[in-house]
């Protein structure tokens, strides 16, 4: 059918279809904008219009209320004094792990950390080092730390048989 319609009429039809497409698209955009406007009106009104709830300029507290509050404050302070030593006795595993990682030499990389709570608690660090000497330095540094009661490394890791891979087991009361 395209060969039968003259060239000028084909251009006129294409222009008409293009204009209709733009008109329908604009109408759809206007409808979407109108719906969004209607949906946002309640939010706008809540922000703009005063709800009429007045807030007091100052707070007036009676002497009876002040006495009651002072008693409650004294009781709370007494409880804090009793409970403070309990809260400060134990160290968290996060702090112990951070201490162990802070002591490692530059050439030592830790890949895995396993923590087992108990008496004594154990912390296993698995990783790799550039040389076996760095593993030995790390073991010596960890042994000197008072948090750890025992530091054990397999002998194969100390002599370099594992290609720089190691696992360190730390025990202590943490």
Q: What distances in angstroms separate CA 80 from CA 41, 75, 89, one per listed residue?
A: 51, 9, 14
Q: And the tokens for 162?
A: 């594992």
pLDDT of residue 47: 81
The 8-class DSSP code of residue 152 comes to E
Fold of 93-172: Gyrase A; domain 2 (3.30.1360)
The whole-angstrom separation of Cα 140 and Cα 144 is 6
pLDDT in tens, 64-117: 777 887 888 888 888 878 777 666 555 678 888 888 999 988 888 999 999 988
Q: And the tokens for 21?
A: 């497409």
The 8-class DSSP code of residue 118 comes to S
pLDDT in tens, 52-79: 555 555 556 677 777 887 888 888 888 8
The whole-angstrom separation of Cα 113 and Cα 93 is 11
User: Is pLDDT of 127 > 70?
Assistant: yes
Which ranges constitute the DSSP H helices of the chain?
Answer: 7-48, 63-89, 93-102, 132-144, 155-159
Q: Is the pTM of this model over 0.85?
A: no
């Amino acid at each position: 059918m395209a060969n039968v319609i003259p060239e000028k009429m084909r251009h006129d039809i294409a222009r008409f279809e293009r204009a209709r497409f733009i008109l329908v698209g604009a109408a759809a955009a206007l409808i979407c904008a109108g719906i969004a406007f209607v949906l946002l009106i309640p939010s706008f009104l809540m922000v703009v219009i005063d709800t009429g709830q007045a807030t007091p300029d100052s707070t007036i507290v009676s002497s009876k209320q002040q006495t009651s509050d002072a008693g409650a404050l004294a009781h709370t302070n007494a409880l804090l004094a009793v409970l403070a030593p309990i809260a400060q006795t134990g160290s968290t595993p996060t702090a112990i792990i951070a201490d162990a990682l802070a002591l490692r030499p530059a050439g030592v990389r830790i890949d895995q950390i396993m923590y087992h709570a108990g008496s004594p608690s154990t912390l296993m660090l698995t990783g790799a080092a550039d040389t076996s000497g760095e593993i030995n330095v790390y073991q010596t540094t960890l042994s000197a730390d008072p948090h750890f009661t025992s530091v054990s490394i397999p002998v194969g890791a100390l002599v370099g048989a594992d290609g720089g891979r190691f696992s360190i087991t730390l025990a202590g009361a943490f």
